[in-house]
Structure 1
Amino acid sequence: MFDTMTMTKAVGGFCGAFLIYLLGGWAGESLYSVGGHGGEEVASYVIEVEDAGPAEDEPEVDFATLMASADASAGERVFGKCRACHKIDGSNATGPHLDGVVGRAIDAVDGFSYSGALLQVGDTWTPENMFHFLESPRNAAPGTTMSFAGLPKPQDRVDLIAYLDSLDG
């Protein structure tokens, strides 16, 4: 039942299928390739879109006005982003505990090993220092071990600061 002719047909079928696969890959590559052949540059196509006009930046609101509108209960919801690394019960986690952080010296939590980069922010966690730090910790204190990307919305930052300020330290 399994003779030389059957083996030849099986190998021929496999080789034929493989050849079709390779030719299909070559055809697809030549049809849909973005780059040129042999290092030559190929023009790319630009899709024109209607210009929406200049991007309007949010109007700059001063920090005191933002803090006056801060909502500690909304800040408690924002704290959910911090909860993975920080606790508010006086115990340290990946990051230092944050109860009583507003007005506290920047590297003052006993038993926590700071990277030293936070001292670029200042000496004390004032609301203004926290506001700028929370926007982008990596930009405010280059070299910090804090991996949090930051809070881009100013209202979220002041709400979080109001919440942390409302905690007993």
Structure 2
Amino acid sequence: MFDTMTFTKILGGFCGAFLIFLLAKWASDSLYHTAAAGHGAEAHDAYVIEVAEAADAGAEEEGPDFATLLASADIGRGERVFRKCSACHSIAEGENGVGPSLYNIVDRDIASAEGFGFSGTLDGLEGNWTPEQLNAFVESPRNFAPGTAMSFNGLNKIEERANLIGYLQTLSN
């Protein structure tokens, strides 16, 4: 089996590791020790960390609202954003593609493009494509009209949507 020297080396290795473990524990306790309540020891100096109140926690600073951004929309940038839409939509009057023509879309009745067959979801919606309605639709078509045939994921940036809708407003009679 083992001779005495090998056994002594193994036992010495375990004892040495245990001693290092105990010394490390003692060192960390002395560095990070805080007095426990009820043991008669004075508390060490501590730093107070202030946190936001629950009411302030959810109040993130928001950017300008959609109406403000639409009022100062950059038409040139909106035209560049429209390139994402141009694969399916036309801006020529009465010229439908995979999607309906977007000519004169702002304030037009929803699902009213001449000669285009809309999905039942959009066909069932009442009202007009106001800038606010278009903003909500372009942000997420599937959330605005669940079951829509439009496969576009939407535009996340409110500035892009405002610029696009500002551009679409210029395409009217």
Check whether TM > 0.5. Answer: yes
1:157 aligned partner, one-letter code = R
Structure 2 residue aligned with 1:62, among 65, 70, 76?
65
SS in 2 for 1:160: helix
SS in 1 for 2:136: helix
What's the TM-score, normalizing by structure 2? 0.61
Larger radius of gyration: 2
> CA RMSD of the aligned region, Å?
2.1
Identity %: 51
Give the direction of change, closer, same or farther, for the CA distance of 1:156–1:58 in structure 2 (3 Å limit). Answer: farther
Q: Structure 1 stretch 152-161 or stretch 65-74: which is displaced more? A: 65-74
Asked if 2 retains the 8 angstrom alpha-carbon contact of 1:87 and 1:93, the reply is: yes
Q: Deviations over 1:14-58 (max 9, x none)?
A: xxxxxxxxxxxxxxxxxxxxxxxxxxxxxxxxxxxxxxxx9x966
- Pairing of 1:15-164 with structure 2 (within 5 A): 59-90=62-93, 91-118=95-122, 122-164=126-168
**d(CA) in 1 for partners of 2:112 and 2:103?**
12
Q: Which runs of 4+ in 1 moved over 6 A?
A: none
Structure 2: state its 5+ residue gaps.
1-56
Aligned length: 116
What's the CA shift for 1:93?
A: 0.2
1:101 aligned partner, one-letter code = I
Asked if 2 retains the 8 angstrom alpha-carbon contact of 1:86 and 1:97, the reply is: yes
SS in 1 for 2:83: helix
What's the TM-score, normalizing by structure 1? 0.63
What's the CA shift for 1:61?
A: 2.6
